[in-house]
């Protein structure tokens, strides 16, 4: 299989305000199709910023984000919606949509301003709910589900978008161990279908379980990035989390012990 670069950060610099601390300073990275990349770091360090830059919601001060070798700005809004989807950490809503209607919103990039979703769109949304194991609750209200189910429904909406690249913000933050393992299984399945996944996380274990590459962020700066095996060492993690962390292996799976 030839490896195509799907997303590339090219010499990216970014700060939230002019002349304040740079969050990114000449950051470069290539992400290949089918790759899983974890943006890892403690809470509140600018991990989400990375996702928002990849989404095009934030734009860099200098440098470029390229999607399929084209600068992000050259894509129309609709095109981007068909290529990149976002799974926010949490999305409060005051309106009790059914889960199916909510997932269906993922069809927006494919439908014109004045058109209604058709049968096939509804089918795509239903299949997405099925994929995250929520099809039995398709008629339930988004306001009456647990935080974990909420995250799964947000993932279903992104799947309804049928994009090649998925950006997930702390996808496991509201999930218990059973749902975490389910989510990881779903993500692995998506990768075998050729999807590329970039997600933020603060748990090294989850990151090591599914990702190929890791971007470590601390105090709003990228301090290490590269392949999991090279980067996720005890020393690097200790530096990122300001806590002594030992990396080990148990039944050929990376485990991390911390004080």
Residues in the site for another protein, rule: CB under 8 A? 52, 55-57, 77-82, 84-86, 88, 91, 93-98, 101, 105-106, 108-109, 111, 113-117, 141, 143, 161, 167
107: helix, strand or coil: helix
Q: Considering the complex, what minimum distance in angstroms separates the CB of residue 117 from another protein?
A: 6
Q: Considering the complex, what minimum distance in angstroms separates the CB of residue 10 from another protein?
A: 22
Q: Considering the complex, what minimum distance in angstroms separates the CB of residue 157 from another protein?
A: 8
Taking the least distance from each CB to another protein, the nearer of 70 and 244 is 70
b (16+ CB within 10 A) / e for 193-213? eebbbbbbbbebebbbbbbbb
Taking the least distance from each CB to another protein, the nearer of 161 and 200 is 161
Q: Considering the complex, what minimum distance in angstroms separates the CB of residue 207 from another protein?
A: 22
Which residues, 6 or more positions from 113, have their beta carbon under 8 angstroms from its beta carbon? none
Which residues, 6 or more positions from 225, have their beta carbon under 8 angstroms from its beta carbon? 27, 29, 213, 214, 215, 216, 231
Taking the least distance from each CB to another protein, the nearer of 56 and 234 is 56
- Look up residue 79 and give its DSSP letter: H
Taking the least distance from each CB to another protein, the nearer of 96 and 205 is 96
């Amino acid at each position: 299989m030839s490896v195509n670069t799907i997303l590339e950060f090219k010499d990216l610099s970014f700060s939230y305000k002019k002349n304040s601390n740079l969050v990114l300073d000449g950051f470069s990275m290539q992400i290949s199709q089918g790759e899983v990349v974890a943006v890892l770091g403690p809470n509140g360090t600018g991990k989400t910023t990375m996702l928002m830059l990849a989404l095009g919601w934030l734009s860099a001060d200098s440098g470029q984000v390229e999607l399929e070798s084209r600068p992000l700005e050259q894509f129309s809004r609709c095109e981007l919606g068909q290529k990149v989807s976002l799974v926010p950490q949490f999305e409060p809503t005051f309106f009790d949509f059914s889960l199916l209607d909510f997932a269906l919103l993922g069809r927006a990039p494919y439908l014109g301003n004045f058109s209604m979703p058709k049968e096939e769109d509804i089918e795509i949304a239903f299949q997405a709910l099925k994929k995250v194991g929520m099809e039995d609750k398709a008629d339930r209200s988004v306001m009456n589900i647990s935080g974990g189910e909420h995250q799964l429904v947000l993932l279903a909406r992104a799947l309804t978008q049928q994009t090649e690249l998925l950006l997930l913000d702390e996808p496991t933050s509201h999930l218990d161990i059973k749902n975490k393992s389910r989510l990881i299984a779903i993500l692995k399945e998506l990768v075998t279908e050729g999807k590329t996944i970039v997600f933020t996380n603060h748990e090294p274990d989850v990151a090591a379980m599914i990702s190929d590459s890791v971007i470590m962020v601390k105090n709003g700066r990228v301090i290490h990035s590269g392949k999991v095996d090279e980067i996720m060492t005890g020393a690097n993690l200790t530096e990122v989390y300001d806590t002594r962390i030992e990396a080990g292996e148990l039944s050929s799976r990376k485990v991390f012990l911390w004080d």
